[in-house]
Amino acid sequence: MLEWGSILIENAKIMDKLTITQPDDWHLHVRTGKILNTVIAHTARQFGRAIIMPNLKPPVVTVEQALSYRQEILDALPTGSNFQPLMTLYLTGNTSVEEIKKVADSEFVHGFKLYPAGATTNSDAGVANIEAAYPLLAAMEKYRVPLLIHGEVTDAEHDIFDREKIFVDSQLSQITQQFPELRVVLEHVTTQDAVQFVESASSNVAATITPQHLLFNRNAMLVGGIKPHFYCLPILKREQHRQALVTAATSGNPKFFLGTDSAPHLTHLKENSCGCAGCYSAHAAVELYAQAFEQANALDKLEGFASFHGADFYGLPRNSATVTLQKQPWQVPASYGEADLSITPLLAGEQLQWQLI
Ligand code: DOR
Ligand code: ZN
């Protein structure tokens, strides 16, 4: 279902209203406690479901823990919300084949997240040696449990801007060769190299793309001063890569789908001499994607990317509700949450063109 309204301005037809099937967010951090309470309504306002990342402290490593985290999220939802959190477990060196079987049998847990140890926020418990985890990947392949990958190498000698490409070349290509039936989501792709890899891989390999990587290159973070609210991992890349991501997202290729990687951190922990990685984008996720798709003249491709491809890949039904976006500029607030718990959103204080109504 795709509908749009239009107005005629100087003989050019400009789309000003767009109704699409309700989207899902296939990569989301909501944390726990007060931060969860501050952010969850933003996601529930737009999305039917979201894949919830397990990188809490301590990480979510068992189905039992995921179920209690799921309940905490449900309890934090605004009254009447139908939002469904889709849980994941954090893959560690201690994950058992037994736990993988439990995930395969669970209605509520949808995959394992592989963080190379040290790659990003709360990844210390991640996998230090991926080859040592191959027996676990074999079990996931056998039981058809998706593996969600943070695709960056962590060795100190590699330049931070090359970490994704090196991971794809040295690790991911091995994984997909060894386990051709394993369902893999390469999360938050940021480079032309990752896009090309996913395009040429089998239909078992897909990728999510964030709004910040579609809208910005590394200049947004580094020109005119260091802008910590654009700092996330994988880090923003050069323009050539942003363009490759936009082409992939707007291509209609079902291997690419929406995953915000919205990652709330308290403002003072980002505006810090050692600031945390993560952009908070849940406040305006669909609006940000609409802006990126409009800039590429591809609003007609937004519904597939946002509402169909991810559900199809995970073998879940597409949502039946719809959401409507209207061209109606609005200003993003400077922050969300109480003073000592302030979270600065992506594009704080700036105008966005689209608004969910
Ligand atoms: O920028 C990021 N922030 N990248 C990640 O992979 C993790 C996330 C977080 O949890 O803050
Ligand atoms: Zn993430």
**pLDDT one-digit tens code per residue, 186-212:** 999 999 999 999 999 999 999 999 999
**Which residues have C-beta under 5 Å from ligand 2, the single-atom ion?**
261
Residue 3 has pLDDT above 60, yes or no: no
Give the residue, by CA position, lying nearest to ligand 1 atom 3: 278
The pLDDT score that the predictor gives to residue 10 is 44
Residue 7 has pLDDT above 50, yes or no: no
The pLDDT score that the predictor gives to residue 340 is 84
The pLDDT score that the predictor gives to residue 143 is 98
249, 209 in Cβ contact below 8 A? yes
Say which ligand is closest to the CA of 119: 1
Residue 98 has pLDDT above 80, yes or no: yes
Active site residue 261: yes
Say which ligand is closest to the CA of 152: 1
Q: What is the pLDDT of residues 141-171, one digit of tens each?
A: 999 999 999 999 999 999 999 999 999 999 9
High-pLDDT (> 70) share of the chain, % = 96
Residue 19 has pLDDT above 60, yes or no: yes
Q: What is the pLDDT of residues 224-278, one digit of tens each?
A: 999 999 999 999 999 999 999 999 999 999 999 999 999 999 999 999 999 999 9
Give the residue, by CA position, lying nearest to ligand 1 atom 2: 278
Best probe residue, ligand 1, of 31, 51, 55 (max atoms within 8 Å of C-beta):
55
Task: Using the mean position of ligand 2's atoms as its centre, give its distance from the Cα of residue 53 in Å.
Answer: 6
Lowest mean pLDDT among 25-34, 93-102, 318-327, 337-346: 337-346
Gap between the Cα atoms of 139 and 123, Å rounded: 22
pLDDT confidence bin for 14, thresholds 50/70/90: low
Residue 121 has pLDDT above 80, yes or no: no
112, 147 in Cβ contact below 8 A? yes
Q: Which is the closest atom of ligand 1 to the Cα of 278? A: 1
* Mean pLDDT on 97-102: 98
Write the single-letter amino acid at 118. G
Lowest mean pLDDT among 124-128, 211-215, 218-222: 124-128
Instruction: Encode 241-270: b = buried (16+ Cβ within 10 Å), e = exposed.
Output: bbebbbebbbbebebbbbbbbbbbbbbeeb
Task: Using the mean position of ligand 1's atoms as its centre, give its distance from the Cα of residue 86 in Å.
Answer: 18
Say which ligand is closest to the CA of 27: 2
Catalytic residue (one of 24, 25, 193, 261): 261
What's the whole-number average pLDDT of the chain?
95
Best probe residue, ligand 1, of 90, 261, 346 (max atoms within 8 Å of C-beta):
261
Per residue, the 3-state secondary structure of the chain, as one string, reads CEEEEEEEECCEEEEEEEEEECCCEEEECCCCHHHHHHHHHHHHHHCCEEEECCCCCCCCCCHHHHHHHHHHHHHHCCCCCCCEEEEEEECCCCCCHHHHHHHHHCCCEEEEEECECCCCCCCCCCECCHHHHHHHHHHHHHHCCCEEECCCCCCCCCCHHHHHHHHHHHHHHHHHHHCCCCCEEECCCCCHHHHHHHHHCCCCEEEEECHHHHHCCCHHHHCCCCCHHHCCCCCCCCHHHHHHHHHHHCCCCCCEEECCCECCCCHHHHCCCCCCCCCCCHHHHHHHHHHHHHHCCCHHHHHHHHHHHHHHHHCCCCCCCEEEEEEEEEECCCCECCHHHCECCCCCCCEEEEEEC
- The pocket around ligand 1, CB under 6 angstroms, is made up of 29, 55, 120-121, 150, 232-233, 263, 277-278
C-alpha 118: how far from chain center:
19
Which residues are CB-contacts of 76 (< 8 A; sequence separation ≥ 6)?
A: 36, 37, 40
Q: What angle do CA 17, 347, 154 make, to 5 degrees?
A: 115
